[in-house]
Structure 1
Amino acid sequence: MSDCLFCKIASGEIPADVVATSDTALAFRDIQPRTRVHVLVVPRDHHETLAGMAAVDAQGAADLFTLAGEVAAAEGIADTGYRLISNVGEDGGQEVGHVHVHLLGGQRVGPMVATRG
């Protein structure tokens, strides 16, 4: 997709602080980190949502989580723990319409809390 930020990062058109790559995915540091370690893992191919991607490319979806695990190990947080989040849609907090998984760790991230309203 020509105007997709993450497609441009995956193709190298826009620079990013890349921490790991695979044939199907790319991991780079979030520019607004929420924890000491905050890495985004994105597929190289454009998909809007993780569920949509899994329906047409189950192996590619699995590769995202494999790369996330490799990054967690490389960042030294695999043993202490980390959180993986994939926001879907506007109500889910998705800000870029390209599948991405947030890898958060390096500190206690606390419980998941939902607000009612």
Structure 2
Amino acid sequence: MKFKNKVKAMNALDDYLYNMNKRMKDKCVSSKLPPMVQVDINSAIVKGQNLLDGGQKPETFVFVDLLRELKSIFEPAMAKIDNGWTHEDRDEDHGSTTGPAQSIATSTRRKLKEKLSWFNKSS
């Protein structure tokens, strides 16, 4: 059971990293983020990939903790984009956007919720 939970945590982290990377490569999304947020997100992606690709396999909690850390960096930034925020208008109030960035955000969020449902139950 311990190994199964570790594999689930590793797969959840891998899926989340894949989706983060996919969103960051989308110019509709990344162009709306301030450079420092882009650096933070890209650094977090590299950190996660290094953990998964490294020769050592740490305990399950390391993967779970990193996934929580990634979510705390990535989700607030994506929520701002989903609500129409861009780095040019940081402090202005905007309504929600429509178009490719919005559909990608909705689709990615739905997929992540499905794949990480076990994670939310265990936390």
- Determine if the TM-score, normalized by the shorter chain, exceeds 0.5: no
More strand by share: 1
- Greater RCO between the two (CA within 8 Å, min separation 6)? 2
Q: TM-score, normalised by structure 1?
A: 0.29
More helix by share: 2
Give 1 or 2 for the bigger CA radius of gyration. Answer: 2
Q: TM-score, normalised by structure 2?
A: 0.28
